[in-house]
């Protein structure tokens, strides 16, 4: 931001802001709210919806506050008669092309256009309703996302999200004028194009044109079916965001209340994905060490390094489409969600004396891509669909409200056992850099017998919100069996948001970057900024959720995955050792090269 200050007045109140500030931001500084639709903090300015128009004294026409930088002496009126009339007309025009069947809309009550219509008390039948004359397409073929063109207001937040944040560009603006629409390549269903199901578009859609496919009714049916033993697992990032759905400020840690709520909803067992996150660290850490050994000791040139993480299903689909030549580099470990599903219908079933077909596994995820992942044909290691239904954080909020639970007054309770125990290392899976940090805490200790040399186990170099981060950890004083690693500097990289992932992988591809281990999360900020998280999500909110996750980690007695007693138990009782045959059968998977369009 420029050091030069510009003086202007907003509604006759003087204000000084740095040169380059928009009228929208200057007004916000004075606590004047200007309504917006196409504007989003995470995205570039589009200026196409026009609801943020304001009056600039002396200007010929109204100007868009989101797209106009301030200038010296500017006099802005945000609520003059002209502005009010224009704004109301703009909203009414948007509504004339919008399927405003609000009571039946999935976004009812959480729609920015609906709120504006409510705020401005738009009239009925002001303009001719153009919705019915249009060819409307509802694409519900994806297991993750439903796209309904009749509700689209063409603000293009989704297009900018898919391009700028994710570097995928599965969505584009096609055709023009009254035929203009947001489209995939040739209008193909989302399920048949490069869409990674990350749901970042869903998180930013101001209306109901892009929503998650909901499985709430299916989950209620399972809960109400006396023959089903319904197990629920909760992802790390849900506990620090669920509050936002239920009236809390962002960044509130509500693990205990959430567990109580899940029990009240009627789940037979409330367990934690963090348990399988810890398990992932042992499987993935062992895989990394095995790959390093093959490369360094056996001089096996076929070993694929750098190895990348595999927890993020959006990342997996992205690399399958975009860098299929790097699929051997992806860890074969399933994501914690799928490890949990496979174990719930085998290990858990066996110990509880249940049949796999009588168990229903529900996941609460900050993610829409997890819905797709659970539907992948590879994810049936138990002989059944390992994870039956995936709900987003938002859908869990919906269920809690439907059940009439007063969340604020709930007592804390603990996860059930077993597969409910976790460490701080499992919790930080929910933030970018967390898997890397968790892996380093364990791998370093396995190899050297000592704790990772960072104060309080906080590996600060891999933390933060920088798009791509690098860290080097020197390994010294190895135990005899790991002597070959002595003196080696393990080179790591972390990327979040697929646009950053693309940059990082491109650097690896053209040989300008060399790493041993790469963590990639599809969503900005990692899972805490996932497509299934509460709306809105933006930089400030992501930072608050990240702080909450690190607090959660600090507050747990165990902070290293290999110390998780239930993880030790499952290896003793069931799996044998990390990367054993049984582990491979249940906890590992393979990938598929896909088309790039």
Partner 1 sequence: MADVQQIINDVTKVYGKERKALMPILQAVVKIKNYLDDQDLISISKALDLSAAEVFGTASFYTFLDIVPRGKNVIRVCKTISCHMAGKDEIIHAIENTLNVKTGETSVDKKFTLLSTNCLGWCHKGPVMLINDKVFPELTAAKAIEILQNYQEEE
Which residues contribute to the site for partner 1 (CB under 8 A)? 163, 168-176, 183-186, 193-194, 596-597
Residue-by-residue DSSP string for 9-53? EETTEEEEEETT-BHHHHHHHTT-----SS--TTS-----S-TTE
User: Min. distance of Cβ 260 from partner 1 in angstroms?
Assistant: 45
Identify the active-site residue in 320, 527, 561, 566.
527
Identify the active-site residue in 192, 378, 470, 563.
378
Identify the active-site residue in 142, 310, 331, 583.
331
Helix extents (H) in 462-580? 498-509, 539-555, 565-570
User: Residue 269: enclosing H or E segment and its boundaries?
Assistant: strand 269-272
> Is 174 or 556 the residue whose CB approaches partner 1 more closely?
174
Q: How many helices (H) and strands (E) does the chain have?
A: 20, 18
Phi, psi of 412 (to 5 degrees): -75, 145
> Is 297 or 597 the residue whose CB approaches partner 1 more closely?
597
User: Min. distance of Cβ 493 from partner 1 in angstroms?
Assistant: 22
**Is 252 a residue of the active site?**
no
**Is 370 a residue of the active site?**
yes
Structure tokens at 40: 């989003």
DSSP symbol at 110 = S
**Is 527 a residue of the active site?**
yes
Identify the active-site residue in 244, 252, 284, 320.
284
User: Min. distance of Cβ 466 from partner 1 in angstroms?
Assistant: 25
> Is 175 or 412 the residue whose CB approaches partner 1 more closely?
175
Angle at 250 between CA 163 and CA 371, to 5 degrees: 50
**Is 212 a residue of the active site?**
no
For the chain, the residue count is 597
> Is 170 or 586 the residue whose CB approaches partner 1 more closely?
170
> Is 194 or 349 the residue whose CB approaches partner 1 more closely?
194
> Is 119 or 325 the residue whose CB approaches partner 1 more closely?
325
**Is 378 a residue of the active site?**
yes
For residues 192 and 413, what is the distance between their CA atoms, to the nearest angstrom?
A: 43
Chain centre to alpha carbon of residue 114: 25
Chain centre to alpha carbon of residue 388: 20
**What b-and-e string marks burial along 244-255, b requiring 16 or more CB atoms within 10 Å of the CB?**
bbbebebbbbbb
For residues 492 and 148, what is the distance between their CA atoms, to the nearest angstrom?
A: 41
Helix extents (H) in 246-312? 255-265, 273-296
**Is 320 a residue of the active site?**
no
For residues 439 and 446, what is the distance between their CA atoms, to the nearest angstrom?
A: 10
Say if residues 346 and 354 touch (Cβ distance below 8 Å): no
Instruction: Work out whether strand 13-18 and strand 53-56 pair parallel, antiparallel, or are unpaired.
Output: unpaired
Structure tokens at 167: 């570097």
Bridge partners (DSSP) listed for residue 139? 147
Q: Tokens 């928009």 label which residue?
A: 22
For residues 469 and 449, what is the distance between their CA atoms, to the nearest angstrom?
A: 27
| Cα-trace Rg, the chain | 25
Structure tokens at 481: 């069996």
Annotated catalytic residues are 284, 287, 311, 331, 370, 373, 378, 527
């Amino acid at each position: 931001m420029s050091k030069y200050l510009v003086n202007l007045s907003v509604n006759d109140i003087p204000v000084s802001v740095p040169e380059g500030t928009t009228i929208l931001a200057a007004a916000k500084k004075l606590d004047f709210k200007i309504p917006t639709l196409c504007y989003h903090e995470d995205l570039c300015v589009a200026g196409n919806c026009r609801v943020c128009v304001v009056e600039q004294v002396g200007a010929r026409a109204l100007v868009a506050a989101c797209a106009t930088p301030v200038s010296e002496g500017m006099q802005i009126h945000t609520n003059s008669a002209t502005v009010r009339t224009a704004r109301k007309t703009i909203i009414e025009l948007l509504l004339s092309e919008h399927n405003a069947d609000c009571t039946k809309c999935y976004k009812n009550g959480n729609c920015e256009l609906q709120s504006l219509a409510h705020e401005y008390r738009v009239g009925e039948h002001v303009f001719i309703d153009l919705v019915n004359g249009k060819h409307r397409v509802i694409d519900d073929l994806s297991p993750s996302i439903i796209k309904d063109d009749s509700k689209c207001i063409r603000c293009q937040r989704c297009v900018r999200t898919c391009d700028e944040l994710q570097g995928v560009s599965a969505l584009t603006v096609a055709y023009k004028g009254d035929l203009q629409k947001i489209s995939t390549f040739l209008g193909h269903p989302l399920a048949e194009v490069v869409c990674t199901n990350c749901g970042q578009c869903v998180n930013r859609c101001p209306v109901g044109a892009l929503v998650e496919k909901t499985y709430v009714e299916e989950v209620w049916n399972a809960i109400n079916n006396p023959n089903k033993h319904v197990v629920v697992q909760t992802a790390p990032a849900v506990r620090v965001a669920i509050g936002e759905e239920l009236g809390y400020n962002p960044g509130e840690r509500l693990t205990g209340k959430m567990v109580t709520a899940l029990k009240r909803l009627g789940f037979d067992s409330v367990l934690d994905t963090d348990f399988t996150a810890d398990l992932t660290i042992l499987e993935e850490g062992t895989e990394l060490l095995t790959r390093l050994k093959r490369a360094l000791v056996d001089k096996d040139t076929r070993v694929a390094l750098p190895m990348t993480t595999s927890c993020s299903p959006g990342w997996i689909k992205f690399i399958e489409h975009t860098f299929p030549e790097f699929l051997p580099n992806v860890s074969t470990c399933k994501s914690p969600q799928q490890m949990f599903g496979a174990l719930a219908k085998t290990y858990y079933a066996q110990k509880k004396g249940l049949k796999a077909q009588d168990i229903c596994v529900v996941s609460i995820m900050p993610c829409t891509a997890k819905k797709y992942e659970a539907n992948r044909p590879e994810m049936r290691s138990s002989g059944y669909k390992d994870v039956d239904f995936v709900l987003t954080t938002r859908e869990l909020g919906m269920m809690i409200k439907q059940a009439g639970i007063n969340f604020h007054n709930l007592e804390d309770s603990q996860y059930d056992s077993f597969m409910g125990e976790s460490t701080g290392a499992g919790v930080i899976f929910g933030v970018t850099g967390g898997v890397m940090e968790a892996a380093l805490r364990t791998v370093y200790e396995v190899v050297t017998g000592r704790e990772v040399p960072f104060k309080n186990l906080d590996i600060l170099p891999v933390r933060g919100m920088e798009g791509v981060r690098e860290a080097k950890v020197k390994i010294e004083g190895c135990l005899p069996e790991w002597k070959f690693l002595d003196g080696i500097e393990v080179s790591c990289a972390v990327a979040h948001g697929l646009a950053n992932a693309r940059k990082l992988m491109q650097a690896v591809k053209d040989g300008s970057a060399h790493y041993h281990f790469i963590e990639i999360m599809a969503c900005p900020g990692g899972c805490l900024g996932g497509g299934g998280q509460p709306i809105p999500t933006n930089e400030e909110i992501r930072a608050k959720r990240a702080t909450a996750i690190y607090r959660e980690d600090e507050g747990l007695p165990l902070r290293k995955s290999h110390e998780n007693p239930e993880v030790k138990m499952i290896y003793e009782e069931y799996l044998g050792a990390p990367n054993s045959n049984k582990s491979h059968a249940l906890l590992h998977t393979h990938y598929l090269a896909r088309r790039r369009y």
